[in-house]
Amino acid sequence: MRYSGFRVIAEALTGHKGWKPVWRDPAPQAEYDYIIVGGGGHGLATAYYLAKEFGQARIAVLEKGYLGGGNVGRNTTIIRSNYLLDGNEPFYEFSLKLWEGLEQDFNYNSMVSQRGIINLIHTDAQRDAATRRGNAMIMHGADARLLNRDEVRAMYPWLNFDNARFPIKAALMQPRGGTVRHDAVAWGYARGADQRGVDLIQNCEVTGMRIENGRIRGVETSRGFIGAKKVGVAVAGSSSKVMAHAGMRLPIESHVLQAFVSEGLKPLIDGVMTFGAGHFYVSQSDKGGLVFGGDIDGYNSYAQRGNLPVIEDVAEGGMALMPAIGRVRLLRTWGGIMDMSMDGSPIIDKTGIEGLYFNGGWCYGGFKATPASGWAFAHLLAKDEPHKTATAYRFDRFLKGRIIDEKGQGAQPNLH
């Protein structure tokens, strides 16, 4: 079924009796050409682009729980391409361009809203760094603007501009950045993949990998063995657990990142704002809640829930920036598990095992990467060579000293 305004009106006039389940619930077949492990944003996007852009068939997505039940449904929905380094910026700009055409492409309303993102600047050194980053973005075809203090004040007059420690001096803006309805991304990709014959198999946990003579033959699952010519793993958060089935140790630690939403407010913030110095970023949902977050908790965790000190730290950051929210109540907090890599950048690469491919290490920036990650991973799976925007995302970059460390923190995952 194709969705359209006409369809909505027609269904409204006929009692909404025509809507059908959006995807099938197939039993796993004995063998596929491609198995994608992980039915989150990246896995579903991979399956969608494998079928649509690379003309492949006999594809299955295996998901331990339900589709989109992991980080694609737990993030703060921000899209942007404001990176500095050559290894990153072309990839994230490719992703942002895919976001811009996504809803038309998969015929699903994912509420892509390019409301603009600003990174606040408090010192001359920060302004220099932001200018450099903005120029790097422009050179890779992205958009960037340096706002002065008055321009920031015109947008958000109620910010605490004269904070003694972090006075707001300027901001780097990417007007094309924004937010997307995160769940709808998973659903849109799932529907699009299903329409193209991809089997989306839920409640199917991978419990082992069958590897013979250095080649993958398939995966053992909670629903039996499923054969495959190629297996792509896209399970960020649980990458180490799944790849351990293939005997691999990864340059990744799993960490918990918390996110927060306040009670609904009248329109206050029409874009996305980051206050890096205060470990705080915020946007406002269409329902009115302030959606915000800060740093990861900082210790290895698979718990999908964080601890109170980070909640306090984030709340303090919010108050320092926006004293006006002092009496706003926090509605919910939750946590998701991040693949924190050793240089803060992702991996999309082959492994030492023929036919086994890996996509992970997204740190806390996986959501904005979803379309390009799926496209690049599908490219790698179908053609056995990396997509041109993802050539730097290799396992061996650590061995060869070609790390992509935006923050310059070194091999310390909890500092990225």
Contact stretch for another protein (CB under 8 A) within 121-129, 242-250, 344-352, 359-367: 242-250
Q: Are 350 and 394 in contact (CB under 8 A)?
A: no
Residue 281: partners with Cβ closer than 8 Å, 6 or more residues away: 76, 78, 272, 273, 274, 275, 292, 293, 294
Could you say which of 154, 324, 331, 411 contacts another protein (CB under 8 A)?
411
Asked if residue 222 binds another protein (CB under 8 A), the reply is: no
Q: How far is the CB of 45 from another protein (least distance, A)?
A: 25
If 0-12 CB within 10 Å is exposed, 13-18 middle and 19+ buried, where does residue 209 land? buried
Q: How far is the CB of 412 from another protein (least distance, A)?
A: 7
Number of residues interacting with another protein: please give it, by CB under 8 A: 25
Asked if residue 299 binds another protein (CB under 8 A), the reply is: yes
d(CA 178, CA 118): 10
Asked if residue 301 binds another protein (CB under 8 A), the reply is: yes
Q: How open is the CA angle 192-197-202, to the nearest 5 degrees?
A: 80
Nearest one of 238, 318, 223 to 30, comparing CA atoms: 223
Nearer to another protein, 9 or 411 (CB): 411
Question: Is 328 in a helix, a strand, or coil?
Answer: coil
Asked if residue 351 binds another protein (CB under 8 A), the reply is: no
Q: How far is the CB of 252 from another protein (least distance, A)?
A: 6
Contact stretch for another protein (CB under 8 A) within 128-136, 236-244, 321-329, 351-359: 236-244
Asked if residue 30 binds another protein (CB under 8 A), the reply is: no
Nearer to another protein, 130 or 340 (CB): 340
Q: What Cα–Cα distance (Å) separates residue 118 from each residue in 79, 124, 152, 175, 350?
A: 12, 17, 9, 8, 36
Asked if residue 9 binds another protein (CB under 8 A), the reply is: no
Q: Are 161 and 149 in contact (CB under 8 A)?
A: yes
Phi, then psi, of 206 in degrees rounded to 5: -75, 120
Asked if residue 285 binds another protein (CB under 8 A), the reply is: no
Contact stretch for another protein (CB under 8 A) within 110-118, 273-281, 372-380, 407-415: 407-415
Residue 16: partners with Cβ closer than 8 Å, 6 or more residues away: none
Q: How far is the CB of 142 from another protein (least distance, A)?
A: 30
Q: Which residues bind another protein (CB under 8 A)?
A: 238, 240-241, 244, 249-254, 298-303, 307, 309, 342, 398-399, 411-414
